[in-house]
Structure 1
Amino acid sequence: MRRSNLAERPAPDPPSDADPLYAEACRLWAAGRRGDAIQRLDAALRLKPDSPDALVMGGYMLGELGRPEAALRFYRRALDLDPLLVVAHANSGKLLVELRRPAEALEAFDAAVALKPADADAWNCRAGALRELGRLEDSLVAARRALALRPEFAEAAINLGNALLKLDRMEDALKAYRRACALRPGYAAALCGEALALRNLGRYGEALAAFEAAEALGSREGVAGKGCLLLTLGDFTRGFEGYEARWLSGKSLADALGKRFPTWSGPGSGQERVLVLNDHGLGDTIQFVRYLPLMAAAGVEATFVCPPNLHRLLKSTIPGRLVETPPDESFDAQIAVSSLPRAFRTSLETVPATAPYLSADLALAARWAERIGPAGFKVGMVWQGNPHPEADRARSFPLAAAAPLGTLPGVRLISLQKGYGEEQLAGLPRAMRVETPGEDFDSGPDAFVDTAALMAHLDLVVTCDTSVAHLAGALARPVWVALKSDAEWRWMTERDDSPWYPTMRLFRQPRRGAWTEVFAAMAGALSETLAPRRPAQAARAPCSIGDVVDRITILRIKRERMIDEDKRANIERELRLLEAEAQEGGVVGGAVDVLTDGLAEVNAQLWDVEDALRVCERQGEFGPRFVALARSVYALNDQRAALKLTINRLFESALIEEKSYG
């Protein structure tokens, strides 16, 4: 977005000593002698501080020198003196766009076109500001006005294409980008726009050719776009290489994150201290944080700079140090968290898909289990993603489109939506009921802790392409993701599963905007899932359900620790029978998995304590250590009993173990 460098009107004042200095400053700047030009302009402003033309030129110089706030002050002063200066309004707007202040930029462009309705450049800039504000139809009008005023205006054709792309009108966007290419052959930005439209239309070969043409022109955007396309097509090796050229907030990766240390090239160089930097949103962070345990296993000491609202969710399972801002320390290397797949040379066949790699808080999971209750097949719903105007709005689906899921017998739809999108709950079809978890749901400073805990009690999560999809996958919860026809690179093409998340199933639009078909397919699949389901009370065991789960966890510990092969065979036989009984009776999934993990942890601790007590007995050591160990048995058994009781209440077990202490 080029700023005008001279006032676009004749100076009305009579010549003064300042005028030759101002004219000389303009000439020197145009000749590339910036230092001399600034010196002359300063001298002119000392003689005539209220010269609008000189102030505009000063604003232009400061903007070019990377001092936007100072430049804006010059433009504002010029406009105070002469509100009719179109160039000052327009240049102010361009700076405000660069500063990501689109609402203020729009005001400036509105003033410019009001003063000069035939200014195609101002109309084009107005189109860009409107798009960033999410006013896409208005952006189309402004871009078309710019093209009507200047039919050969390639930048305006690109702005038109950008608005059409956001409106999911891909064929029209492709025409606009191709118009820009025709107006200016070899225009990399137009080629990248054309490639994006082609990619979203599923014309991958043509898209790749367009990206490569932009890449040949030296376009960083072309390299990054090609990388994302290759990732979409499953070529992770070349794709992640190109993905390194991605932009963040209008800057290169290195400029956006700050280049303080060498880039980490992956495991293999021994003990290292590595600074890992967050470079995208919550979903990307959850997807790629899986690599931090791999770093720890490779002997790397990682410090992860990530939003503080994620620390509580991550800290229980993710090794390394979590910080809010980069510490004032020296590190051996640094890397963006989204660059870790490349550092580990990840291919489609080697995606580290072990799950779960995050876990829910046990206490919160128990609380939500009690609040939600055991009745029905519980489906968590998320339908709205990031509301930011520049985000991909086509990823979200209208909640009412999911109505077929709620018509299935026994299905309970439970909202996991937080904030934007909740207003749709008020306008649902009469027959559609969606439960809400309450005002306190994820209302604290920590992101997703209640969502993760509630997911532990759900039978299924249904979500659009947003961070909750990644959370459910990282927790290894059953999750179905509703995808638009041209889904993002990480979901690839055609397949209905994800190499990143083993418990995820993908449901794709057969064509643009076809959410009805997506949820008809989901309803059919869910009906099949429900058909063999039996109530949990049907688990056949002459004991409480909590005792069955407790026994399963003990047998699993024995299987891991028992050396004798004959004993292991007996353990395996009993374990298979009990696990089959639990599966058949529905004592799996939801909150019981979280409670099972808790029982397993307590029983493992009891095993270790009992081993330590036997050592004390053999050595005749009955002092303070023996007493402390013996007392810990009581405490651990109390925890064990509490977990079993929670399971029994959760499944309304016919038998419940009771305890009493004298």
Structure 2
Amino acid sequence: MPGNAANAIDQGMRMLARGQTVAAAGHFRRVLRRDGHNAGALHGMACVVRACGRDDLAIGLAGRAIEIEGAAHYYVTLALALMARGHLAQARAAVNIAILKAPRDPMACAAQARIAEACGDFATAESACVQAIAAAGGAAWRPRADMARFLWRRDRRDDALSWMREAYRLSPLEDTAMFHELVEMLLGCGHLGEARLSLEAWLRHLPDDALAAGNLGAVLFAQRDFTGALPWLRRCADVMPNADCLNNLGLTLMALGEVEGARQALSMARDMRPGDGRIAVNLATVLSEQGEGRDEAASLCRAVMEDAQADSHTRAQARFNLGTILLAQGRMAEGWACWEARHVLMPAVETHYPVLPCCDRALVTNGPPMAEGGTQAERRIVVRAMQGMGDTIQFLRYVPLLARRWRVVLVLPPALHRLARSLRDRTGAPVGSRVEIIAPDDRYPAGVFAQCDLFSLPHLLGLDVLPRPVGAYVGPHGPPRRAGRVRVGLCWSGNAQYRFDRLRSVPAARMALLRDVEGVEFVSLQHGATAGDLPFPMEIPAMDDVMATARVIATLDLVICVDTMVAHLAGAMGWPVWLLNRHGGDWRWSAALDGGGASPYGQWGSCWYPGVRQFRQAECRTPPDSWDDVLMQVRDALRDWRAARDVRS
């Protein structure tokens, strides 16, 4: 009988380790029906009820087993059950007894680590993890995985990853759970390349692992390989739909220009996880991009901003997105204020400059104090450009307004220096005597005492109405272009790193629709383009910096371009610009900011630049076909414009 009972208990524990709780319980019950005081069977039942989530029952069963026979592993089970029920002091006492009885028992050491961590005694927890690894031996993977998880929870990510790599190396082949834990840590540490190689190798052997497919899609998305990410994310969404996969799928489709598919995927993700602010913000972005969904997008953003459970970064993203929606609706004061949330989202800039206090509205709108003798103190405000060059050119218009009150130190990338030195106010007067231009690595001049972001100037200046179109405020001075052959500049794509670039840029081959317009000499304004990149033969001028590009534009009669730096540069020079604008589009070019009566093009114009005429996509369609109707309109308009010039001449 004793031998039969021991065999039955051993068999029950093996079944329990495989997750066969019902079968395991049957073995323990048979022993207890014959001998109700069998400590091994009582302990086995304690383990069964723990596996079923009944730690309250496990405490009693383990306690009865200990009264009969105080084995170390009985104390371990009791300690873990007590911890699960929140009785940490008693759990710690029980596990300490287990350690005294079996100081080199890996299970006792592992339990001590878990309980010490729950008590906030992290030094003891780490020491116990080390003891568990030593006790288990060089080939044991479980205690190494426990150490990795402990260090991960303590945010010691690099150390955790090292232990998890070793644990996975020692674990049984094709241990799916361990593999995905390793991938999660690789992603958390930013090791995208290693994660990608590991996932690709894993999927060659287990192609049906939907979670691995979803993770590979997420990695490829993070590496901006959107085309490569799409099939993996679709595979995961088809087999194992979950909020994270659908969120990544939606963002990928958005980057590929499939806006409606992106909306559907993100709506499904939000239905699955309605409290996730990140998904709500992403959905709001897509709705806003569709143009017609801005009110719903604004409601989503406001809800995230008011959600105390959302992290600060997500709330800032929601506030920033709301800012762009409000600006697109022409609600400038509230829009500028919300747009300030971008400061939370931008990476910290390491600089050798002294830390200066940030400007507030009261400081900016008041003039500098008077020094002794009635002369103005030579105090200067530093204005830094923290976004792209097109945005910088657009917002340079506000520098003269600040320069009326303060001397300004304008920090710009060197490529913009020559252009910025040509900056003029609304009257056409140069502002160089009030504005000093330096590079990001230059020293500050004397007298600087505060700083602000260039793109904060509308908010700091209290500008609460639509911008008014102004004449040329940058660019080369000189006589207008002489009559001759009509010259038209073309720019068909922007920075490929912009996440919506596929939506705003036109494939070069599509621009060939314009080549048949007679009497026009086309000039490439596409930065870095070579002859092989052109849609058809055209002049490729040298454009070393932005001022050089401006001088090329000054030789043209018209600029046709997508939403990129060239549009802002030509507009700021007062040149005629035909803007190819995607459906929904950037807030700067929305219908609410069309310029109205101040623009000769009315609802197709722009409040930013009087010479801008917009050709908008009529509906949200997937690139590249989405541009054909627009380009045919431009081709016809270009023929009419060319014919009208002939009549005037």
Q: Same fold (TM over 0.5)?
A: yes
Q: Which structure 2 residues correspond to residues 63-102 of structure 1 after superposition, within 5 A?
A: 90=180, 93-94=183-184, 97=187, 102=192
Alignment correspondent of 2:559: 461
TM-score, structure 2 normalization:
0.66
| Whole-Å separation in 2 of the counterparts to 1:154 and 1:215 | 21
Shift in alpha-carbon separation, 1:462–1:34, aligned structure 2, 3 A = farther
**TM-superposition CA deviations, 1:501-545 (whole Å, max 9, x none):** 22222110112343222122223333333334369xxxxxxxxxx
Q: Which residues of 2 match residues 503-652 of structure 1 at below 5 A? A: 503-511=611-619, 512=621, 513-533=625-645
**Alpha-carbon distance in 2 for matches of 1:59, 1:167:** 37
- Relative to structure 1, the CA distance from residue 506 to residue 183 in structure 2 (aligned partners, 3 Å threshold; closer, same or farther) is same
CA distance in 2, matches of 1:97, 1:44: 27
Distance of aligned partners of 1:39 and 1:380 in 2 relative to their CA distance in 1, 3 Å threshold: farther
Q: Superposition pairs for residues 13-32 of structure 1, below 5 Å?
A: 21=109, 24-29=112-117
Structure 1 position 221, deviation (Å)? 2.5
1:354 aligns to what?
A: 470
Alpha-carbon distance in 2 for matches of 1:20, 1:312 = 72
- 2:337 aligned residue: 241
Distance 1:98 1:224 in 2: 25
Question: Deviation string for 1:47-88 (max 9, x for gaps)?
Answer: 989976566556556666666556555555656666967677
The 1:463–1:122 alpha-carbon spacing in structure 2 relative to 1, beyond 3 Å, is same
User: What SS does the aligned partner of 1:435 have?
Assistant: coil
- Identify which range, 101-110 or 124-133, moves more after superposition: 101-110
Matches for 1:448-487 after TM superposition, within 5 Å:
448-487=546-585
Question: Structure 1's 69 and 502: CA in aligned 2 closer, same or farther, altered over 3 A?
Answer: farther
Shift of 1:454: 0.8
In 2 relative to 1, CA 514–142 (structure 1 residues): closer, same or farther, beyond 3 Å?
closer
> How far apart are residue 239 of structure 1 and its match?
1.3
Distance across 2 between alignment mates of 1:75 and 1:124 = 21
SS of the aligned residue for 1:463 comes to: strand
Do the aligned residues in 2 keep the contact of 1:361 with 1:453 (CA within 8 Å)?
no
The structure-2 alpha-carbon separation of the partners of 1:92 and 1:296, relative to structure 1 and needing over 3 Å to count, comes to farther
Q: Which aligned pairs between 1:141-180 and structure 2 lie closer than 5 A? A: 141-151=231-241, 153-180=242-269
Residue in structure 2 matched with residue 321 of structure 1 by the alignment: 437
Are the aligned partners of 1:461 and 1:480 in contact in 2 as well (CA < 8 Å)?
Answer: yes
TM-score normalised per structure 1: 0.65
SS in 2 for 1:533: helix
Contact 2:381–2:406 (Cα < 8 Å) also in 1: no
Query: Quick one: distance in 1 between partners of 2:422 and 2:146?
Result: 57
TM superposition shift of 1:464: 0.9
Aligned counterparts, 1:121-132, within 5 A: 121-132=211-222
Native 8 Å contact 2:317 2:345 kept in 1: no
Structure 2: 5+ residue stretches without partners: 1-17, 20-101, 369-378, 424-431, 593-602
Question: How far did residue 382 of structure 1 move?
Answer: 0.7
Preserved contact between residue 104 and residue 132 of structure 2 (Cα < 8 Å): no
Query: Aligned letter for 2:317?
Result: E
Given that residues 59 and 74 in structure 1 are in contact (C-alpha distance below 8 angstroms), is that contact kept between their aligned partners in structure 2?
yes
Kindly state the Cα deviation for residue 168 of structure 1 after the two structures are TM-superposed: 2.4
* Alignment match, 1:435: 539
What's the offset of the Cα at 1:46? 8.6
The answer for the alignment partner of 2:414 in structure 1 is 308
Per-residue Cα deviation, 1:70-117 (whole angstroms, up to 9, x for no partner): 655555565666696767765665566567664444224334555766
- Residue 109 of structure 1 corresponds to 199
1:407-432 CA deviation, whole Å, 9 max, x = no partner?
A: 2332111111123686442xx4xxx5
Write the letter of the residue equivalent to 1:131. F
Q: Any conservation in 2 of the 1:133–1:389 contact (CA below 8 Å)?
A: no
Cα distance in 1 between the residues matched to 2:119 and 2:113: 10
Whether the 8 Å contact between 1:405 and 1:411 is mirrored in structure 2 is: no
- TM-aligned CA distance change 1:57 to 1:510, over 3 Å: same
Q: Within the alignment, does 1:339 sit opposite 2:456 as a pair?
A: yes
CA distance in 2, matches of 1:252, 1:113: 35
Residue 205 of structure 1 corresponds to 295
Q: Which moved more, 1:469-478 or 1:255-264?
A: 255-264
Equivalent pair of 1:360/1:453 in contact (CA under 8 Å): yes
Contact 2:257 2:500 in 1 (8 A): no
Say whether the 8 Å CA contact 1:132–1:390 is kept in structure 2: no
Which residues of 2 match residues 281-300 of structure 1 at below 5 A? 281-300=388-407
Establish whether residue 376 from structure 1 lines up as the match of residue 469 from structure 2.
Answer: no
Please report how far the alpha carbon of residue 463 of structure 1 lies from its aligned counterpart in structure 2 after TM superposition: 0.7
Whether contact under 8 Å (2:168, 2:182) holds in the other structure is: no
The match for 1:413 is: 522
> SS of the counterpart of 2:584?
coil
3-state secondary structure, aligned to 1:477: coil
- SS of the residue 2:645 aligns to: coil
1:255 CA drift (Å): 4.8
Say whether the 8 Å CA contact 2:195–2:219 is kept in structure 1: yes
SS in structure 1 of the partner of residue 517 of structure 2: coil
Q: What's the offset of the Cα at 1:223?
A: 1.9
For the structure 1 residues 471 and 195, does the alpha-carbon distance in structure 2 shift closer, same or farther, using more than 3 Å as the test?
A: same
Q: Which residue of 2 aligns with 1:563?
A: none
Match of 2:306 among 208, 216, 224: 216
- Take 1:28 and 1:116, find their aligned partners in 2: how far apart are those partners? 38
2:365 to 257, 268, 272: 268
Q: Which moved more, 1:334-343 or 1:316-325?
A: 316-325
Contact 2:581 2:617 in 1 (8 A): yes
SS of match in other structure, 1:242: helix
Preserved CA contact (<8 Å) 2:395 2:454: yes
Q: 1:242 is aligned with what amino acid?
A: C
Take 2:450 and 2:132, find their aligned partners in 1: how far apart are those partners?
49
Q: Deviation string for 1:188-247 (max 9, x for gaps)?
A: 223223322322332222222222233332433222222111111111111122212237
In the superposition, relative to structure 1, how do residues 15 and 43 fare at CA in structure 2: closer, same or farther (>3 Å)?
closer
2:229 maps to which of 139, 144, 147: 139
RMSD: 4.1
Give, in whole Å, the separation in 1 of the partners of 2:324 and 2:348. Answer: 20
Alignment partners' CA distance in 2, 1:522 and 1:76: 58
Q: Amino acid of the residue matched to residue 285 of structure 1?
A: T
Between stretches 495-504 and 133-142, larger displacement belongs to 133-142
Q: Deviations over 1:446-485 (max 9, x none)?
A: x323312211111111111112111212222221110111
Residues 336-365 of structure 1 deviation map (CA, whole Å, 9 limit, x = unaligned)? 32222222223343x264343322498xx9
Indicate if the aligned counterparts of 1:86 and 1:116 stay in contact, CA closer than 8 A: no
Q: 1:103 to 1:310 in 2, by over 3 A?
A: farther
In 2, distance between residues paired with 1:253 and 1:455?
A: 32
